[in-house]
Chains A and B, each alone.
Chain A
Amino acid sequence: MSDDQPATPEATQADAHADPAVDIGETTDETTVTEEGSELERTIGLSGGLTIGIGTMIGAGIFVFPGLAAGNAGPAAAVSFGIGAVVALLVALPTAELATAMPKSGGGYYFISRGMGSLFGAVVGLSLWLGLVFATAFYLVGFGEYALAVLVEIGLPRPPDLGPLSIVAVLGVVCGVGLTALSVGGTENTTKLQNGIVSLLLGILAVFLTVGIVDALGFLGSESAPETFAPFGVGPILSTAALVFTSYLGFAQIATVAGEMKEPSRNLPLAMVGSVVVVGVLYVVTIFVSTSAFGSQELGQLGETAIVEVARSYLGLPGAIAILLAGLFATVSSANASILSASRALYAVSRDALVPKGVSRVNLRYGTPHLALALVGGPTVLLVGTGQTELLAEVASFLHLIMYGLICVTLIVLRRQSPEWYAPTFRTPGYPVVPVVGGAASIAMIAFMQPTSQVVGLFVMVGAAGWYFLYARDVRLKGGEMNE
């Protein structure tokens, strides 16, 4: 199919319908019409999509990583975040194209299984589920840090650790159990709550960062001591980029709800690219402001909650309290969004019979997939118990980066084969350079991670492939072939 051929919605419908393996219905701006003639309402608008993306990402990049990143790379940690943003953008564009061609639940898993077949699909689908489990655990450890910092701030004595479990892990576990129970119980207003939280966070950050920038540029007097920009050289900048890449996983979560986005051909690309740009800018500014307030070594020692001390230095006690509360909300909202995406990912693989169908059964009473949610919450809570912020973050990134690499490959494969049903309404600019560089950069990121993270990530992928050969080797998903 040539580039200049206009892809009208009607053409998309007709083409999509031509392939039963890819099709779960016709896509309109406001609904998906299934083969049985039922309508699935699309209820998430552009702002809802941006909220999912920003809400998932912001918890990590601003409220957990600045101290750790500055400790590793010095003020050049801002470059690490910049690299992350560029890689994320290079992948977000191909993801957006695939999502407009297949606006269905399941995100990256769906595209890869339809473009590359069921083995790749199974590995990515199961890795996406576990990758999100690792990400959720990481956010919850961050939550534990903030909850502890709040206790300390209001003057309570630091509670003792419970045997091998640190108090941070205990607080994270409690929050994880609570969030899982809440999602099973079916609180229908989670979206509205999430919207409110994200707006509040952006408001707090706008004030804090503005004051920080003004001060850092020297308008408010107190001259900050100049520090070498990259005290540890280029290597740590790259390994830090790999570490903090967890801060950019949210745009793919937008793709997991592609089936519920209104006007998908317009809103999916805008929400994905927009959320990456917004958080990327915020991250870089945050690092700049943080390293202007403290030396990077000091920031590194302050750890996960370093940003609270930065706020205190600019805005005093009220600033510290605002950022503490913001940190609590941000980490909870990231964890919550990831639990929901992980449950969507499990649904997508169970729909395709890669795991037992029962996994994603919805109970009529609450209307929620209790087993899928438990399969997310359970392992998450176990991982939170380890309390290993950096390991959890890197494994989460590892598993996502594999998917990102494959998304770029899928795009190239589909463009070259150009099957009849493939009619995206958004086309990646700069093809083929963008997907080639995006895919290569994704895989390259993995090379800069700690060996432990690489081993754990590989272990998960091999496990997923093993599961495929044991359980689901006769499942055929690739578009163009017959299903089942």
Chain B
Amino acid sequence: MSNATSVLVPVAVLQGEALSEALVDRLAGLDVTLLGYHEIPDQTATEQAHDQFNEQMQRKLDEYVDLFESHGGTVTPRTVFTHDAPETFKRIAIEQDIGAILVPNPAPAVDRILVPIRGPVNLDPILTMTAALDGDPEIVLFHAAASEAQRADGEELLSTAADQLAEAGVDPGRIDRQLTVSDTPLRAISDAAADTGLIVIGEKEPSVVDIIFGDAADRIAEAAASPVVVVRTDRSDDD
């Protein structure tokens, strides 16, 4: 699967949304599609916004391309003017067979990456993506068990994941495991994310967009205030 490590990075550059250098440094190891987008209200024709803002958009996007390249990464830049950003993300994710979508949040430093693991279903693509991140950040594998009785299952899941990461070439010294018992797993994840620079999480719903704009990611991304890489389901079995 060539696209298991591909990520869509949407940036609303004209709205002043920015990618921190620390985040770019981590993402540089992935196959990045950098999407400069501008969402405009229905009153305005997309061509109209394009006429006026395209140059500005391209200029800012080029700066990010340079930034990625200076960190040793390669990016495919794309520019889209749209009335409906989620629809655009979805189209491009499908078109390019993208493995994950980044929800950008400010990230001053990315020394610690939280990887919440809910079960074995989505494990492979999440770990492949995590292992492909650049630099030597601490990786925290996190599981919230629903009850004390399920603690053992959780421990096993985390140790399987840790082994798999190590096999993929991640220094075991960087891998940390955390297990909490909680009947509100989303809350537990948000709490654990409090001082993390980046979150890598698998999508729960079939659609990436549901996750990005739906309840779960909203709460996690907002509470954490850090960027989130949402890994799409079932990449490895696709073809």
Contact = CB atoms under 8 A, between A and B. Distances in A.
Given A38-B57, A366-B41, 11 more contacts: A31-B80, A39-B80, A39-B81, A43-B82, A104-B47, A257-B45, A259-B46, A260-B46, A367-B39, A367-B44, A368-B44
B50 A40 contact: yes
Interface stretch (A327-335, A339-347, A466-474): A339-347
Interface residues of A, number: 38
Nearest to B88: A41
B43 A186 contact: yes
Contacts of A259: 45-47
Task: Please indicate which of the listed interface residues B14, B51, B80 has the most CB atoms of chain A within 10 Å of its own CB.
Answer: B51
Interface string A364-397: 1011110001000000000000000000000000
A40 B80 contact: yes
B14 A364 contact: yes
Interface residues of B, number: 29
Interface of B: 14, 39-54, 57-58, 78-84, 87-88, 91
A415 interface: no
Interface stretch (A187-195, A404-412, A423-431): A187-195
A347 B88 CA distance: 24
A40 B43 contact: no
Contact of B47 (A105, A184, A186, A343): A105
Given A38-B50, A39-B79, A43-B83, A362 B57 contact: no
B5 to A, nearest CB: 24
Interface in A350-365: 351, 360-362, 364
B43 A183 contact: yes
Interface string A252-272: 000001011000000000000
Given A39-B78, A41-B80, A41-B88, A190 B41 contact: yes
Nearest to A367: B40
Nearest 7 interchain pairs by C-beta = A41-B82, A40-B46, A38-B79, A105-B45, A186-B41, A43-B83, A39-B80
Given A38-B57, A43-B87, A259-B46, A188 B80 contact: no
A30 interface: yes
Contact of B41 (A104, A360, A367): A367
A260 B54 contact: no
Nearest to B46: A40
A24 B50 CA distance: 11
A188 B49 contact: no
Nearest to B81: A40
A369 B58 CA distance: 21
10 contacts: A30-B91, A36-B58, A38-B54, A40-B50, A41-B91, A105-B48, A191-B83, A340-B42, A351-B47, A362-B48
A43 B49 CA distance: 15
Contact of B43 (A38, A39, A361, A369): A369
Interface string A22-45: 001000001110101111110100
Contacts of B44: 362, 367-369
B228 to A, nearest CB: 23
A440 to B, nearest CB: 32
A68 to B, nearest CB: 32
B81 to A, nearest CB: 5
B41 A188 contact: yes
B47 to A, nearest CB: 5
